[in-house]
Structure 1
Amino acid sequence: MNNSPFNTFTKLHQTDSPLILPNAWDAASALICQNTGAQAVGTSSAAVAWSLGYADGGALPVEEHLNAIARIARVTSLPLSVDIEDGYSQNPEQVAELACKMVALGVAGINIEDGNDTPESLGEKISAIRQALNGRPLFINARTDVYLNALGSGDKAINMCLERLEFYKNAGANSGFIPGLTAMEEARSLATVIDLPINIMLLPDMAPLSEFSAAGIKRFSTGPALFQSVYGHLSESLKQLAAVKSDANLFSKALDYGTLNSAFIKEA
């Protein structure tokens, strides 16, 4: 078990260097993350949903999500952490069942969020997951949306995050995820006080990662940004083609066919 994906993933939160976790959405993006030096691979629920033709925010059918994760798990040898939003249910037992299915696919960790729900609701889900796993390892990254939902600012937001993450830790969480947190001093305060590795999401115009790392942040997630970047490039390329301006954008950053294809032959 010392070299299990769970243990490897856990140790990545305990080093002096922060974990930079790219969020993939399908087998190809996950394999590219692996082949460009990622230490682990996460998923973005938004990106997975969009790639399968659904809106973000609970619209993705659970079975389609599981199938997508199975395809990702097949091609990557890295620890895999899956964003399951709020667990796609208000029933803790159903959420726990989903978590167990993820573990059966080889998943090392999950993100699960409070969103618009009460802290008690997420705490019950985390407790139910731990009970259902019955000792099987799973790294639970408990996400609080205090900042994303603008529930407070300054000291109020800090205190709300501290209270929620302490509650989630006692329920069985391994780390705390605070997307929307961009203020350096607030990040420092939270990382200093809470006895959990803190994860934040990369957003435009943030301070350098090195400064957040020095402030105590242990994990950085790309969220849907990689998907948005790839599809932004696709959109721009198609616009240029449609306007008969140039096809240069189409090939400027294209990966070599042979390199891509051989990667999948190895993983088949």
Structure 2
Amino acid sequence: MSPMSPIDRSPLDTPFAALHRRPEPLLLPNAWDHASAAVLAEQGFAAVGTTSLGVAAAAGLPDGAAATREETLRLARRLGRSGRCLLSVDVENGFSDDPDEVAAFAVELASAGVAGINLEDGRPDGTLTPAAVHAAKIGAVKAAAPDLFVNARTDTHWLALPDPAEETDRRLAAYRRAGADGLFVPGLSDPAAIARLCAGLDLPLNILYSPTGPALPDLAALGVARVSLGSYLYRTALAAAVSTALAVRSGSPAPAASTGTPGYATVRALYADGR
């Protein structure tokens, strides 16, 4: 992939955008409710994202099916106004294929204090939104909310296309021309492929962390600007809840003390300031 030709716009100049231009990658943990976002912010993460899977599952709704617009907006308003950290919101495909509707939703998020969004081209039926349609959404969002960081996600690798490299290049180029501030390729874990993309892009590349993929220092060495945890924390929390319940049921020692499980008062204090 050859370097993309420059376009006539300056990089977004916001505190959240600046986190993508540091020597080390922005590690973005993804929360699913107020408490998970608050405890992550308390650990010093400058920015926190949301996970659409976690938000959907917590509400008993399907992920990626445009079913969680109101839940996403409600959580964004709660977290965006808390002032605890910068917030990026996973908005699936924008909950619509109408660019104007997606832009209107982005304006609502920006008004709630959201710093960025993650906008994906994958569809629940396992296909990809036409690149031109997704690019139109990106352009509409940037026109309506220019200070909102748009992380344009392509699911070419996530959907395991037979030979995704060429389609990935084509889509990333289109999304960049549309005004994206960052580019996201979940499912990509091959170091050589990641390095090739980083060398050919003039926008921050976001990679989804995988326990079986490159570690954070390795991704940094490859040139990755942002590493998202996606639904990993939510799924890990579910596993911890189940294993703890099973331990209690079997009469085994509960792992609370050894894992630093917060007490009732600690969790209650997350809401004490009304934020």
Q: Which TM-score applies when normalising by structure 2?
A: 0.88
Match of residue 45, structure 1, among 43, 52, 56: 52
The AA in structure 1 aligned to 2:49 is: G
CA shift digits 1:138-160 (9 cap, x unpaired): 1000000010111244xxx3332
Deviation at 1:22, TM superposition (A): 0.3
Structure 1 residue ranges without an equivalent (≥5)? none
Q: Matches of residues 29-44 of structure 1 in structure 2 within 5 Å?
A: 29-44=36-51
Q: Matches of residues 92-107 of structure 1 in structure 2 within 5 Å?
A: 92-107=99-114
1:119 and 2:131 aligned: yes
Residue 252 of structure 2 corresponds to: 246
Q: Matches of residues 1-268 of structure 1 in structure 2 within 5 Å?
A: 7-115=14-122, 116-133=128-145, 136-153=146-163, 157-243=164-250, 245-253=251-259, 254-268=261-275
**Higher helix fraction: Structure 1 or Structure 2?**
1
Q: C-alpha distance in 1, partners of 2:93/2:48?
A: 20
The AA in structure 2 aligned to 1:125 is: K
Q: Report if aligned partners of 1:126, 1:172 keep a CA contact under 8 Å in 2.
A: yes
Q: C-alpha distance in 2, partners of 1:17/1:166?
A: 24
Q: Sequence identity of aligned pairs in percent?
A: 36
Deviation at 1:260, TM superposition (A): 2.9
Q: C-alpha distance in 2, partners of 1:88/1:117?
A: 12
Other structure's SS at 1:141 match: strand
Q: C-alpha distance in 1, partners of 2:23/2:208?
A: 19
CA shift digits 1:13-67 (9 cap, x unpaired): 0010110000011110000110011010111111111111112112533122211
Other structure's SS at 1:264 match: coil
Task: Classify 1:10/1:121 alpha carbon distance in 2 versus 1 (closer, same or farther; 3 Å).
Answer: same
Q: C-alpha distance in 2, partners of 1:60/1:238?
A: 30
Q: C-alpha distance in 1, partners of 2:81/2:253?
A: 34
Q: Report if aligned partners of 2:66, 2:93 keep a CA contact under 8 Å in 1.
A: no
The AA in structure 1 aligned to 2:132 is: E
CA shift digits 1:216-253 (9 cap, x unpaired): 1010000000001111100111122233x225234442
The AA in structure 1 aligned to 2:265 is: G
Q: C-alpha distance in 1, partners of 2:13/2:217?
A: 26
The AA in structure 1 aligned to 2:133 is: S
The AA in structure 2 aligned to 1:162 is: D
Higher mean displacement: 124-133 or 113-122: 124-133
Structure 2 residue ranges without an equivalent (≥5)? 1-11, 123-127
Task: Classify 1:73/1:224 alpha carbon distance in 2 versus 1 (closer, same or farther; 3 Å).
Answer: same
The AA in structure 2 aligned to 1:97 is: A
Other structure's SS at 1:80 match: strand
Q: Report if aligned partners of 2:38, 2:84 keep a CA contact under 8 Å in 1.
A: no
Q: Report if aligned partners of 1:74, 1:267 keep a CA contact under 8 Å in 2.
A: no
Q: C-alpha distance in 1, partners of 2:208/2:189?
A: 9
Other structure's SS at 1:106 match: coil
Q: C-alpha distance in 1, partners of 2:97/2:50?
A: 22
Q: Which TM-score applies when normalising by structure 1?
A: 0.91
